[in-house]
Every structure is written in C-alpha cells, then in structure tokens.
Amino acid sequence: MTDEGNGQNRESPKEPAREGSVGLMEPPVATTKGDGPPINGALLLRAGSLMGFVLVIAYFALVAPGFLSVGNITNVLEQSAILGVLSFGMTIVMIAGGSNVITGGIDLSIANNLGLSAAVYAILLKTGQPDIVALSLTLLTGLAVGLLNAIAVVSIGILPLIATLTVMNICAGFELVITQNTVLQASSPLLAVLAGDGPFGIATLAYLLLIIGLILIAVIEYTPFGLRLYAVGGFREAALAAGLSVNRYIATSYILSGICASIGAVLSVALLSGSSTGSGDMLLSVVVTALLGVVFSRRLVPTISGSLLSVLFIGFLINGFQLTNISSYWVNGVEGLLILFAVATTSLVRRREA
C-alpha cells in the first residue's frame, strides 16, 4: 500500500527508492548541520520587506511634514484598527488551514460577519438595550457565524473557499434585513469611551489594536495552542500522528475568526458612530494584508505580527497618500501591486529553496 497512500498534496520523496541489497550503495553523506541559521532567501526577503516598510515611512516623513507626529501615527493606528482585527482573524484561519488558498484555510465571510455583527450591535443599542447585553449578543453573533463556517468546513467538508463564500452571502442578507440597507446611528457610554482618547491623548482604538495584536501574538506565536495550529495547517497528517484532534483546531480557527469579526464590528460602530453599509468591501483588503504578512515572517508562514506589520504598512501608505495629496484612487492599485510583488518574491524564494 505504500504507493497507494494517495496523498496528492503531500510531497513525494525525491530520492529514488532502492530494491534491498540488490540496489546500489551510496557515497557517504555527511549528516551534520551548522548551528546558526543559514543566510537564506526567506531571511533576505524578510529583511527586504522590512527595509521597504522603513523606506516608505522615511520617504513620507521627508515629503509630508507631520507624517511622523504622534497625532498622525495615532490617527493611522486608529484607522487601521478595524482592518487589523479582521486581518488577525483571517491570519488564524490561514494558519490552521494551510497555505493553499483554494483548498486551504480562508474565511471570506469575515468582512460581512463584521457588517452583520455591527448591525446587530447598532440595532440593539437603538432599541435601548444596555451595553452589556448588546455587546454580548454582538460577540455571540460573530461566534455563531464562525461556528457555521466551522460546521460547513469541518463537519460537512465543504471547501473553505466556497463554504465561507456561502456564509458570506447569508451574512450579507441578514445584515440587509436588519439595517434595511441604511446606516443605523448608535451611541452608548461604551462607544463614547471607545471613540474617545485614552491615556496621553492617544485614541482608544489605537491602544485596542496594539493590545489585541499583542494578546494574539502571545497566544498564536508563543503557546502550545498556537504551535499546534501551525502543525495542523502545515502538515495535517503530522498533526494527526502527534495525537492532535485536527478538526477541533480547524473549527477553533474559524470560531476565533468569527469573534475577531465581531470585535471589529464593535470598533467599527465606535469609529463611525453607527453601523455602515458596504463593510463587505473590506474583504479583499483583509485577504491582501493577511497574505502580505507572510513576507514579514522568517519561515514564510502567516503570522499575527506579520499581519499587524502589513496592516500598519498599508495604513501608513494610505495616510501618506492623503498627506501628499496623491489621489486615493491609487490606493487599491498599489495594494494590488504589493500583493503581486510579495507573492512573486515569496514563490521565487520557495522555488529556490525547494
């Protein structure tokens, strides 16, 4: 059965198999490895990307006065908070689902989940529910959508791309039903705090982005749970052999992504003082930032810190455009070129190393 494993996605051994002692002898091969990490393409790519980030910031700092002022940086962080939180959710799903975008993990419902959760939050506040009730029901909504994704992907076995696409449509429908395609104004004590400034006059949302980012970095990159998520996505059979309940980890990733969406919804309602239409338009930006984050990691895998960096990168880019009066119409195009560049270089590096 050795040749019947049918692991199409699995790498096949490159060395030819031999036929017992009737086969041929091999020249001696040394089996020691150097201690330090070798200088490789991945490292260069990462350094290059960071350098690019720094150069972009340096350029805008030179041409746009006030670009590096505390107020402006806070502004960028505040504006990036929502995209950031969504991007974290997407990253978690990509970690647990593996790198293949079509068959691996992806959560296309995340942006519309935000729209739906924001609508739920706004309508609850509008009907006079106290903050705590509204907040918990909002988080519950996001969680429920995540659960639906998890069931579709893990229990039913629908391809993630298409499962989450369908759930996305369902979310968009419910959002429209709730909002009747209008903006629902909302206000509450909690929202006032969130929309206001925290210590040192820096926006609360900016703090929240960094705090949520740091918590998730700790959980995903520094705990056994995170390591296992990577194992599940990196080599499913290996995770199975290590006794992990793979399906539970994948399901968890979708649920976490759903929760991220609803947290994003709360931030979004705070930032815009209400629900908004067209939150689904953020989806592609979320995908782009999560994928772009890969070039910021040493092993060329999605990471929370990488996604945070790429969200900030894009945030600074947009902000720099605004300050230097470059038309915002260029933003999408630049994002598109960035993703193409990132992907072309990562695949080049991977091919080199293979």
Partner 1 sequence: MALAKGDPVLSMHGIVKTFGGVRALDGANLEVEAGNIQGLVGQNGAGKSTLIKILAGIHRPDAGSITIRGLHCPHLTPRQVEHLGIHFIHQDRLLVPTFTVGEAMFLGAEPGIGRLPFLNRREMARQATTILRDHFDVRLAGGALISELTPAERQIVQISRALLRDPAILVFDEPTAALVRREVDRLFEIIRRLQAKGITIVYISHYLSEIESLCDQVTVLRNGVDVGHVSLKSSSTTEIVSLMLNRDIDEMFPKRAVPIGEPVLKLNEVSARGAFNEISLTLHRGEILGLTGLLGSGAKELVQSLFGLVRLHGGTIEIGSERTKVSSPPSAVSKKLALVPEDRRAHGVALQMSVRENVTLASLQRFVCFGFLQPGREKTATNELIRKLSIHTASQASPVGDLSGGNQQKVVLAKWLSRQSALYLLDEPTVGVDVGAKVEIYRLIGELAEQGAGILLLSSDLLELLGIADRILVMYRGQLAGEFNPANSTSADLLSCATGTSAVSEYVNAVSAESGR
Partner 2 sequence: MTTDTSPTPSAPTGSASHPSRQSEATAEARQRSTDAPAPETIPQWLHRSSALRYTVILAFLLVFTFLSVKAPGFLTLSNFVNILVNNFTILAIVSLGMTLVLLTGGIDLSVGTAMDVGSLLFISLISAHQNFLVAICGGLAGALATGAFNAFLIGGLRIAPFLATLGTLFIGESVQQLATNGGQPIYLITGTLAPAFIYIGHGSFFGVPFPLSLAVGLTVIYYLLTERTSFGRNTVALGANPSVAWYSGARVRYTSALVYLLSAVTCGVAGIILSATIKAYVPLSGNAYLLDAIGATFIGTTLHSEGRPSVIGTTLGVLLLSIVTNGLLLIGWNFYWQQVGTGVLIFFVLATSFLGRRFRR
CB of 104 to partner 1, least distance (A): 14
Round to whole Å and give the CA distance between 95 and 303: 8
User: Which of 47, 242, 344, 348 contacts partner 1 by CB under 8 A?
Assistant: 242
Q: What is the dihedral of CA 154, 10, 310, 257, to 10 degrees?
A: 10
Q: With CB under 8 A as the contact rule, which of the stretches 39-47, 132-140, 304-312, 333-341 interacts with partner 2?
A: 333-341
Round to whole Å and give the CA distance between 335 and 317: 9
The entry of partner 1, partner 2, none near residue 291 (CB within 5 to 8 angstroms by kind) is partner 2
C-alpha to C-alpha distances, 236 to 30, 219, 305, nearest whole angstrom: 30, 20, 23
DSSP 8-state symbol, 300:
S
User: Which of 92, 251, 267, 269 contacts partner 2 by CB under 8 A?
Assistant: 251
Cβ proximity of 310 and 296 under 8 Å: yes
The entry of partner 1, partner 2, none near residue 353 (CB within 5 to 8 angstroms by kind) is partner 1
String of DSSP letters for 186-246:
---HHHHHHHSB-GGG-BHHHHHHHHHHHHHHHHHHHSHHHHHHHHHHH-HHHHHHTT--H
The entry of partner 1, partner 2, none near residue 103 (CB within 5 to 8 angstroms by kind) is partner 2
User: Which of 84, 85, 160, 228 contacts partner 1 by CB under 8 A?
Assistant: 228
Round to whole Å and give the CA distance between 275 and 268: 7
Verify binding: residue 28, partner 1, rule CB under 8 A.
Answer: yes
Round to whole Å and give the CA distance between 267 and 281: 17
Q: How many helices (H) and strands (E) does the chain have?
A: 13, 0
- Residue 17 has which token pair? 């198999």
User: Which of 103, 136, 223, 324 contacts partner 2 by CB under 8 A?
Assistant: 103
State which residue, 144 or 339, has the beta carbon closest to partner 2: 339
Interface residues for partner 2 in 181-210 (CB under 8 A)? 181
Round to whole Å and give the CA distance between 122 and 119: 5
State which residue, 69 or 155, has the beta carbon closest to partner 2: 155
CB of 237 to partner 1, least distance (A): 5
CB of 53 to partner 2, least distance (A): 19
Name the nearest CA neighbour of 119 among 191, 192, 190, 174.
Answer: 174
- Residue 142 has which token pair? 């996001």
Verify binding: residue 102, partner 1, rule CB under 8 A.
Answer: no
Instruction: Give the residues lining the site for partner 1 (CB under 8 A).
Output: 1-8, 10, 12-29, 31-38, 218, 222-224, 226-228, 230-231, 234-235, 237-244, 299-301, 353
Instruction: Give the residues lining the site for partner 2 (CB under 8 A).
Output: 1, 4-9, 101-103, 150, 152-159, 161-163, 165-170, 172-174, 176-177, 180-181, 236, 240, 245-248, 250-251, 284, 287-288, 291, 327, 329-337, 339-340, 343-344, 347
